[in-house]
């Protein structure tokens, strides 16, 4: 299984996990000029921009560690584009990371990092 396949499977797992936790999925793979956000969900009254990172091992660090400061800035810029396009500039939002430790479709562990990073 290649990296893209693991990533795509991870996004599906993350979406199912968040729905089971009570979140409402608003958008998948939102793209703007400055970047992409894997999932945008509503968690009660909070709009959440979610980056999904799936890994088969932590040999190169945890999945969450792959969300570097540069990647965080791109996600924040993309979130600003989404908020502006939807007239939600004053809305409450946060940035989460879903870590998926993936062996196969039946063997995986999910870790939800709420407020993984903030607007600087």
pLDDT digits (tens, 9 = 90+) for 78-107: 999 999 999 887 777 999 999 999 776 677
pLDDT digits (tens, 9 = 90+) for 37-87: 999 999 999 999 999 998 887 788 888 999 999 999 999 999 999 999 998
What is the rounded end-to-end Cα distance, in angstroms, of the chain? 37
- CATH number of the structural domain spanning residue 13: 3.40.1350.10
- Residue 111 to residue 109: CA distance in whole angstroms: 7
- Give the predicted TM-score (pTM) of the model: 0.91
Residue linked to tokens 């959440």 = 48
- Structural domain span for residue 86: 3-117
Number of domains in the chain: 1
């Amino acid at each position: 299984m290649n990296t893209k396949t693991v990533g795509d499977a991870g996004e599906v797992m993350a979406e199912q996990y968040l729905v089971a936790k009570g979140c409402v999925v608003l958008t998948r793979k939102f793209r703007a000029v400055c970047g992409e956000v894997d999932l945008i969900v509503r968690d009660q009254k909070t709009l959440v921009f979610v980056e999904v990172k799936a890994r088969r091992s932590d040999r190169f660090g945890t999945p969450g560690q792959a969300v570097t400061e540069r990647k965080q800035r791109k996600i924040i810029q993309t979130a600003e584009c989404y908020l502006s396009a939807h007239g939600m500039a004053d809305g409450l939002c946060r940035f989460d990371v879903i870590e998926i430790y993936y062996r196969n479709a039946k063997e995986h562990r999910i870790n939800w990092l709420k407020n993984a990073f903030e607007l600087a």
